[in-house]
Structure 1
């Protein structure tokens, strides 16, 4: 009798051991890690202009475990950044797919926004965001990518809104939401530097359509004593359930913004 009980218990333990890895793998398969990072063209604010440190940016991204990254303030072949294609170099260092979108010509090259992805990029679209007549400010865009994420097509976006005028930032947020309307058949995540704080009209408008990760006090700038949250990750709550989020406060050297990350559970 005792031998039968022992045999039964051993069988149960073996069965549990066999199931556990499968359950863990299923959980991991349904999770997605997203990062938003304004990298200040890889010029650490504590270093002089012209000092470029892409290795630190790559280390930060790698340590986050991010599978999708929205990047702002990228240089491409500019004089101030050693004539390097920054996003391509980051992609090579990290083994990721990439797309760059120029927002302005700058320094003999281009300056703009980009996306890094561990998953195949099926298609990309970029849209200009509006300006106000007579307001001298740089053009802004939103970059969208259709991605094959674990067998599911999702829409991931990177953007960087205006900082000079709250009315303009609101207009750009409204245009961004209008552009997203034609893609609402896909699960959507949009991340970036929105140059607005949670109580501003632009953020309130976006949050009427999309959920945001984190708290209003998850400050991202300035890096040493942060007191404003202007970097956000927005998502559709019917498709994604947030598991965790963080401001990477220890990564305060590489840029004048702190990176923010979020882990989502994909709702099938």
Structure 2
């Protein structure tokens, strides 16, 4: 009898510690001052992957769960290839999360309550109300995809950095400024801006980075204006905080589908997360995508032509 009681006691003890550890590991971010943020281009809602809809949704959810994300900013969250329904809303409902739809392309889903920053029009940014009582501004961008200057440089259409920067300023800079104008009244809030920039980070195209890259199709450095503006306004590139060496960790997110858009492809990191410089410590950063040397967190099959990015932030 004593032996049986001892076995029962040991079993209960193991179960107790297992539950305790599970509870700690599954504790919601925000309660401990951390937040996991993801940017994810769904590629026409996922329909462009040409898999059955339920299959695509399954792997989109798998990507969010694999990233252990608390909030996701989507681009291309609807499709013109089926019913045009919001894939973001479907994913939020599947997770039991909140959803804010910006437009046909952009949406935010979050395990935390969402309030739009601008109630007079469709708001590009929201306030996340974390479980620890903190409020954070979170905005999602999808900048103009054409002209895509890295391709034009590789094709000889843009002869120098001045021409590339002028083209990018004309195509996208007003969109970044529009976001900054919208959130200006919330300048005291910790702020996160994510999105598909359709333009590389200026940190990845410095003289040294281009020299290290050694691609004869890319003969000059470019100070890309969309990301340069955010840095000038007090934001930091979260991925580059963790991985400052561009050569060692290029972090390419464009593209996961080799040869689909250009051959030879010009790869770049265009899916980005920017955070208030003095309000967050960036603890982790990872690329989510298909099994490849560029991917940290792999999903197979991968349901997009962009790789996604997730970062873990601690609030100061």
1:255 to 295, 300, 304: 304
SS state at 2:74 partner = strand
Unaligned 5+ residue runs, structure 1?
Answer: 1-20, 103-110, 129-140
Alpha-carbon distance in structure 2 between the residues aligned to 1:214 and 1:257? 16
SS state at 2:174 partner = helix
**Structure 1 residue aligned with 2:134:** 152
Please, what TM-score do these two structures have when normalized by structure 1? 0.74
Alpha-carbon distance in structure 1 between the residues aligned to 2:236 and 2:39? 15
Structure 1 residue 243 corresponds to structure 2 residue 224: no
Q: Does the 8 A contact of 1:41 with 1:81 survive in 2?
A: no
**Structure 1 residue aligned with 2:101:** 100
Which stretch shifts more, 34-43 or 258-267? 34-43
Q: Does the 8 A contact of 1:35 with 1:262 survive in 2?
A: yes
SS state at 1:260 partner = strand
Structure 1 residue 231 corresponds to structure 2 residue 271: yes
C-alpha displacement of 1:246? 0.9
Distance 1:49-1:64 versus aligned 2 partners, 3 A rule: closer
SS state at 2:303 partner = coil
Structure 1 residue 42 corresponds to structure 2 residue 35: no
Alpha-carbon distance in structure 1 between the residues aligned to 2:30 and 2:42? 31
Q: Does the 8 A contact of 2:44 with 2:80 survive in 1?
A: no
Alpha-carbon distance in structure 2 between the residues aligned to 1:186 and 1:230? 25
Deviations 1:177-227 (A, max 9, x none): 233322102110010111111121111111112111113521101114582
Deviations 1:58-104 (A, max 9, x none): 111111110011001011xx6623453322210111121111122xx
Alpha-carbon distance in structure 1 between the residues aligned to 2:271 and 2:119? 20
2:33 to 30, 33, 36: 30
Q: Does the 8 A contact of 1:146 with 1:155 survive in 2?
A: yes
Structure 1 residue 214 corresponds to structure 2 residue 217: no
C-alpha displacement of 1:41? 2.7
Distance 1:71-1:214 versus aligned 2 partners, 3 A rule: same
Please, what TM-score do these two structures have when normalized by structure 2? 0.63
Distance 1:228-1:122 versus aligned 2 partners, 3 A rule: same
Structure (1 or 2) with the greater strand fraction:
1
Deviations 1:153-180 (A, max 9, x none): 1111111011224122122223322333
Runs of 4+ in 1 over 6 A off after TM superposition: 23-28, 48-52
**Structure 1 residue aligned with 2:74:** 71
**Structure 1 residue aligned with 2:11:** none
**Structure 2 residue aligned with 1:161:** 143
Distance 1:79-1:262 versus aligned 2 partners, 3 A rule: closer
SS state at 1:164 partner = coil
SS state at 2:73 partner = strand
Structure 1 residue 170 corresponds to structure 2 residue 152: no
Alpha-carbon distance in structure 1 between the residues aligned to 2:55 and 2:84? 11
SS state at 2:36 partner = strand
Alpha-carbon distance in structure 2 between the residues aligned to 1:204 and 1:57? 31
Deviations 1:89-131 (A, max 9, x none): 10111121111122xxxxxxxx221001111113343899xxx
Q: CA-atom RMSD, angstroms?
A: 3.2
**Structure 1 residue aligned with 2:197:** 194
Give the count of matched residue pairs.
227
Which stretch shifts more, 51-60 or 85-94? 51-60
Unaligned 5+ residue runs, structure 2?
Answer: 1-20, 148-167, 203-223, 241-245, 259-265, 289-294
